[in-house]
Structure 1
């Protein structure tokens, strides 16, 4: 980091990056004796002064087409980890209840701690169990089995957002109503908050002041989901003792309906489990989707990471994805990005897709494919070679079908490296804990 900040020669930068990645890989593998390794995919840039999990040089703009969005305030390169944020809200599919923590979504397989009073919800730590109870599980627990029957559990982020807010208002429903019934401020900027001294009431306000995407094709699902939660949750005395009057019940139903739409817009889904784990984080929630992304989202071990896939220039919006032009599989989300707009910007974009690489670039591409198939080449070396190819040719050949294969390989390898790094970290922490005893 010191070398990068002090004009390290550009011609030697590739060697420096390769050395840095190799050192991180050795640390992740536990080669730094006596220490718990740092995750390989942690932020590798200077961080924001008020947001220690966000790289400096990231801001928020408001875009007519997609509302709030993350924007680069300086250039970023492939492999830059610009966000490593703790997950604030999540919903876990019942099939994963013995694998994932129901508070932070972390995967700890069969070592989870069950809720003492219901068989549905499990947690990775005592801290998660206690915090989950404080924020919303006290409103779910008595009707947990009914919620299982009436809902698709990842959508639990919807009522959880309501109860998360109620908790921040100290269970004062009237105070919550007075705030929530005002017109929302769609330009509310979560990046203005001080995350070094987290005020969760302000986090709730940031999530509440979200203008949801317009998705009329799923409006029937939205209404069913809100009504199902409304009916089931009011069966719980912990809820009905707070939501007592007709005015309260009308507010509860209206807000659930609003939050189903909001959480559809804010929720990030795990790439490995498709839509079985839904999570929300206040800063990441600003990031919009595109079928031509320049970043990848990785949800793993209770954190959301955002990593740059291809060069991002100062002023560009940062996009992640659910579906991509290089792997156009329908992901259940209607996309309104420029690539999907057949009548506008995408026509010029699509004409570039079938271009050929120059003979020299094609030779390098074939060599890269062979490197990716080598069993003796570790993940760090493969990431470094993909990173260099993308950095060198993105401006010239993006989008192009073979360049899309490189982006796919890079994103898959980043996802795998982050997962393996977190597993190694968890093992090292476990060894350190047992060594103390």
Structure 2
């Protein structure tokens, strides 16, 4: 199983587990002139370019300053090369390395900390507890570096070595890093770190995601906290992305002591078992989740509306009557509707799942949360109920 996340208390559908800022990110080439490179917000025709290159755009002077200080001061001399010749995975590798280095100010401090993370195997084999309120950016660095122990197959790194050697040459010879990387052990660290980060980013189970809009990729990011979650084709947690923030919320009731699960592919309601198997096998992953072992049925909205067991017909109809009104609801009405769906799931989920009506309520919860997180005034309401 590897690492996993378990709850210490009962959770209801719609509960906020935590909010993590993306550890590193990259905007796809097609979107680099419509999104701020620092805060990731869309901003057409009003972006400020970097004074020294044509590939980095920012939405304000503050974002220009922040982005430059964090990572762009290093990548600026080679960013045209990055976008012209590198897949997004390797651009994200460079950004991950630069963010790690920036956190420690010097290569020496960075090297020492990373060696300690691997030596101590932080978040590796041992069970540890932490309150997400205390989760910090440095925790993300420890999570990333400790993944080394989870993936020990040396052959998995072999295909990336030529490109990493080229990236190391450009970073050390063409950027400000040449002033920081003098000792050989630090140069070797640059190579080893990029190999590790590339391997992590290639594997979506470690929190590397590509976000699409109308089938076109917009950006890719790395979420260290998400790397802790195991997979299920019947996930009980989902993430939502607002700017650079990743929100983790529950989709169904989860009893104390149970594992929190995300999905690495479309869930059982969307994709039949045989297609999910092929999708996951292409990523060297064999799924043995309950949805696969019991071959849960795909979701059919008409069956869900017409299949109404007497034990919960009244409660289901009360929710169904407002299903088509979600887009017109005020944030307060949407939150009340979310609580209504949550109570239904708490009452009936463990008795009747995967009945089609129960799957429908779960999908309604997803839609309501999307609406609430899209409204600035309701984010605080969700946070207060964390």
TM norm. shorter chain > 0.5: yes
Is the deviation greater in 283-292 or in 73-82? 283-292
Residues 160 and 198, structure 2, Cα contact 8 Å, conserved in 1: yes
Which of 266, 269, 284 lines up with 1:326 in the alignment? 269
Q: 1:317-337 deviations in whole A, cap 9, x for unaligned?
A: 212234211122758855555
SS at match of 1:278: strand
Q: 1:406 and 1:214 mapped to 2: Cα distance?
A: 38
Matched ranges for 1:12-27 at <5 A: none
TM-score (norm 1): 0.66
1:126 has 2:56 as partner: no
Q: CA RMSD of the aligned region, Å?
A: 3.9
Match of 2:294 in 1: 349
Q: CA deviation at 1:408?
A: 2.7
Q: 1:175-207 deviations in whole A, cap 9, x for unaligned?
A: 4334434644434369379849x6x55653343
Match of 2:147 in 1: 210
Q: 1:146-171 deviations in whole A, cap 9, x for unaligned?
A: 00012233653322222222223322
Which of 67, 84, 94 lines up with 2:29 in the alignment? 94
Q: 1:277 and 1:212 mapped to 2: Cα distance?
A: 28
Match of 1:405 in 2: 360
Q: 2:297 and 2:174 mapped to 1: Cα distance?
A: 57
Residues 353 and 400, structure 1, Cα contact 8 Å, conserved in 2: no
SS at match of 1:261: helix
1:112 has 2:53 as partner: no
Q: Which has the higher helix share?
A: 2
Which of 86, 89, 111 lines up with 1:151 in the alignment? 86
Distance 1:371 1:222, change over 3 A: farther
Which of 102, 107, 129 lines up with 1:167 in the alignment? 102
Q: 1:256 and 1:416 mapped to 2: Cα distance?
A: 38
Which of 260, 278, 291 lines up with 2:198 in the alignment? 260
Which of 307, 312, 333 lines up with 2:254 in the alignment? 312
Distance 1:335 1:113, change over 3 A: farther
Flag structure 1 segments of 5+ consecutive residues without an equivalent: 1-64, 340-344, 426-437
Residues 89 and 103, structure 1, Cα contact 8 Å, conserved in 2: no
Q: CA deviation at 1:78?
A: 0.9
Distance 1:386 1:194, change over 3 A: closer
1:395 has 2:353 as partner: no
SS at match of 1:399: coil
Residues 10 and 253, structure 2, Cα contact 8 Å, conserved in 1: yes
TM-score (norm 2): 0.74
Distance 1:392 1:195, change over 3 A: closer
Q: 2:133 and 2:317 mapped to 1: Cα distance?
A: 48
Match of 2:384 in 1: none
Flag structure 2 segments of 5+ consecutive residues without an equivalent: 380-386
Q: CA deviation at 1:378?
A: 1.8
Q: 1:224 and 1:372 mapped to 2: Cα distance?
A: 54
